[in-house]
């Protein structure tokens, strides 16, 4: 649908989005470790992925796959990815939109926000597909929460996106993000491909919209109108004309 590239929205409360950067680094590191581990990658997906049938006691996981307590998989699944495209898409959304959510919440609250959105995505996935024995993996639930939070905080911010993967556009965030959110709900209702968990996306969206209202700083408004843009960004505001001189110019010799 669209690929986010850049948003003209500077940080206001923090100097560096180190939680966002750390989450990206951890996801990349885990992916690289799984890529070189060969047969252990499949075991990691089963042992650390979220399996609804196991959570709801409809299936038994072999003891050799219990790497963490099964309730921990509400979070651990969000650090595993199937391939480079799965990882790259999620991390790109996190890179573009995550820093401003971290700025609005603070470092610790943002980490809590991220993990809760991931857990909410897994929860709704398990509610709708309780007997599924396929492991759910990917950070999409957490990323969906970030997208819905950004939509509530900064709908007017101009973002650069690649529409349909090839057409560069600079448009207000509300247009691509609300289209993305609506698509997730429509695909959940209509039923999409088995390779994508639309319930996890919708669970993250709902959690993100609720949590941003609860956890954001008091000074951070919803539907922000005062956009803090980087100095190098060209805005649409016309330059004010120079004031005319009221006193006559005195020429010297």
Sign of CA dihedral 159, 138, 53, 194: positive
pTM: 0.86
Coil, strand or helix: which one is 248?
coil
Count CA atoms closer than 13 A to 235's CA, side-chain side: 14
**Would you place residue 37 in the very low, low, confident or very high pLDDT band (cuts 50, 70, 90)?**
confident
Phi, psi of 155 (to 5 degrees): -65, -20
Question: Which run of H or of E encompasses 54?
Answer: helix 52-55
Average pLDDT over residues 158-180: 91
What domains appear along the chain, each with residue ranges and CATH number?
2-215 (1.20.1540.10)
- How high is the pLDDT of residue 234? 47
């Amino acid at each position: 649908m669209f690929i986010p590239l850049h948003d003209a929205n500077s940080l206001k409360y923090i100097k560096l989005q180190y939680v966002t950067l750390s989450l990206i680094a951890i996801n990349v590191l885990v992916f690289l470790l799984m890529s070189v581990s060969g047969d252990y990658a499949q075991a990691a997906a089963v042992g650390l992925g979220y399996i609804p049938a196991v959570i709801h006691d409809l299936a038994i996981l072999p003891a050799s796959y219990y790497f963490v307590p099964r309730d921990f998989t509400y979070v651990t699944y969000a650090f595993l990815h199937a391939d480079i495209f799965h990882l790259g898409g999620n991390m790109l959304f996190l890179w573009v939109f995550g820093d401003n959510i971290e700025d609005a919440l603070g470092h610790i609250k943002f980490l809590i926000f991220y993990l809760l959105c991931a857990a909410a995505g897994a929860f709704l996935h398990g509610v709708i597909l309780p007997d599924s024995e396929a492991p759910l993996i990917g950070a999409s639930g957490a990323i969906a929460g970030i997208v819905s939070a950004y939509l509530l905080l900064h709908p007017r911010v101009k973002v650069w996106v690649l529409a349909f993967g090839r057409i560069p556009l600079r448009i207000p965030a509300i247009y691509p993000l609300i289209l993305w959110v609506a698509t997730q709900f429509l695909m959940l209702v209509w039923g999409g491909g088995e390779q994508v968990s639309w319930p996890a996306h919708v669970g993250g969206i709902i959690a993100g919209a609720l949590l941003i209202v609860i956890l954001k700083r008091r000074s951070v408004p919803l539907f922000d109108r005062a956009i803090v843009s980087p100095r190098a960004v060209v805005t649409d505001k016309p330059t004010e004309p120079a004031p005319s001189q009221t006193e006559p110019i005195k020429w010297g010799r």
